[in-house]
Amino acid sequence: MSFDNERFQMYLRFVEERHNIWRLRQLGEPPLWTGDPILASKKFTNVFRVLDPGSQFVFDLEHEDPATTLMRLFLYRHTGRTEAWRYLLTEFGEYPTVDTLDDVLESWKAYRGEFSLSVRGEENNPRAGRAGAIKRVSAKPIFTGAYLVFPQSQVPGTDKLESIIRLTQRLFGPEKLAEEFLQATDQKGRFAALRRHKGVADFMSMQILTDWGYTRFGTNEENDFIVPGPGARRGIQAITKAPNQVGFMRFAREELLAGDRCPTINLDDRGTVRYPSIMDVQNTFCEFSKYVRFVEAGKVSKPYIPAHPGPQATPVLPQHWTTTTR
């Protein structure tokens, strides 16, 4: 397999150093966590996806009914603001069920308030949008900046919030997505159950499938199946033009596991550890694509200020992660 070894070594260092930042923060060390100027000044998600605050919130969404859990994960990944979800908890005493989605829509409309207009985009940053473009914003947003596009979201005059609520009602009602998903016996089958429905693409299907694996209904199958997202594909292409990107991710995982600074997280106080899964590696390539962009830009910003400063809480980990996975 042909690849740029210098760039690949940069990737390995990036992954190792990013996890070391998380480790130092868990130890309560002061915020001089890295000598890498880009990692010190830019925001990157954790090597282990489950450690990110957005993924930690998945554990709050579990319901005794697996279909309800799946519906919540679907709606959560299409919206993403934990503040908006906690607002629903105060309003209804529980998180959404299929039967309460109409009420959720009205509650969220009241929560976000009236839209205002703002100017967005920067001339030197095409990813930020067209310079001078007008954007409708709300004081209390429902959506994060992570996954902004879904069916109907770009149709002029369409309310994205109403679109995603109606999509959720359709898929978890007449189209019986949950029934198909729960009947599947492996990750590939669960992915196919999500993907075959109009309105659910590869990337979102993979995100929901990964969240499902963290819940009480999940199994230890994160290494069995993967579909790289757009960011991960860009990160891999920064190293190799080989067409088999999944094969390269598996190669990269083996190289990480063989290294002296392989990232791990403790599962118990007896030394049992978790190694990065292929899903985690997919996530690191997505983040690496951003890292490469900053390296090539040659600019260093002021130090990054974490959204969650101070001592870090011990993360919640899936109950079925009881054995070493390598």
Same domain (yes/no): 269, 193: no
Same domain (yes/no): 230, 171: no
Same domain (yes/no): 68, 196: yes
Same domain (yes/no): 200, 258: no
Q: Is residue 117, in this structure, part of any structural domain at all?
A: yes
Same domain (yes/no): 210, 254: no
Q: Say if residues 189 and 221 touch (Cβ distance below 8 Å).
A: no
User: Total structural domains in the chain?
Assistant: 2
Q: Say if residues 51 and 315 touch (Cβ distance below 8 Å).
A: yes
Same domain (yes/no): 199, 230: no
Same domain (yes/no): 84, 27: no
Return the number of other C-beta atoms located less than 10 Å from residue 103's C-beta. 14
Secondary structure of residue 300 in the 3-state scheme:
coil
pLDDT average, residue stretch 173-201: 95
Number of H helices, E strands in the chain: 13, 4
Same domain (yes/no): 190, 105: yes
From CA 244, how far away is CA 5, in angstroms rounded? Answer: 17
> For strand 133-138 and strand 265-266, is the pairing parallel, antiparallel, or unpaired?
unpaired
For 140, phi then psi, to 5°, come to -125, 90
- Residue 243 reports pLDDT greater than 80: yes
Same domain (yes/no): 183, 257: no
From CA 297, how far away is CA 319, in angstroms rounded? Answer: 42
pLDDT band for position 123 (cuts 50, 70, 90): very low
Same domain (yes/no): 232, 199: no
pLDDT average, residue stretch 21-46: 93
Output the CA–CA distances (angstroms, integers) from residue 225 to 84, 85, 222, 241, 276, in the order listed. 32, 30, 7, 21, 14
- Residue 325 reports pLDDT greater than 70: no
Single pTM value for the model: 0.89
Domain span at 280? 5-43+224-297
Same domain (yes/no): 209, 117: yes
What sign has the CA pseudo-torsion 164, 165, 166, 168?
positive
pLDDT average, residue stretch 83-108: 97
Residue finishing a domain among 214, 249, 282: 214
More confident residue, 115 or 122: 115
pLDDT average, residue stretch 150-176: 83
End-to-end CA distance of the chain: 23
From CA 82, how far away is CA 308, in angstroms rounded? Answer: 14
